[in-house]
Amino acid sequence: MKLIPSIFIFATVFTLACRGAPSESGDTTVPPEILAAIEHQALIVDVRTPEEFADGHYPGAINIPHETILEGLNQLSVTADTSVILYCRSGNRSGQAEQVLQEKGFTEARNAGGLKALLSAAGEQAVIPAPTSSH
């Protein structure tokens, strides 16, 4: 009879552990405060590569690769109290960028996670720029 409680405990722990785990694409649920910040004109920053950004990005987002996030925001004269929403493909690079910014006093920097989850949560579609002509 000890088997049934053990199975129940295992199932409960497994369910709770997987609850916040990212999907294969790395996307997780976007917190409501991120969506509220976007509605209140937060600066939306795609921290992926320029090539990834060109393949599709969140409407109104700017592109600053995560390796240069602090320099990029400084070049744009973004102040530390500005609400900055960061995203990438899975939430990993945007998490790294968030940590860098938080350490430098950007108290309103938030990691929105992956692009697909952000688009879905906000009811938006990716912006895909028209190809430029080489003529």
Active site residue 18: no
C-alpha span between 5 and 135 (Å, rounded): 71
Strands of the 84-88 sheet, one edge to the other: 62-63, 43-46, 84-88, 109-114
C-alpha span between 62 and 82 (Å, rounded): 15
Cα dihedral 99, 104, 106, 109 in deg (nearest 10): -10
Set 88, 117, 118, 121: catalytic member: 88
C-alpha span between 134 and 126 (Å, rounded): 24
Structure tokens belonging to residue 99: 């940590």
Look at the alpha carbons of 72, 77, 82, 83 in this order and tell me if their dihedral is positive or negative.
Answer: negative
- As annotated, the active-site residues are 88
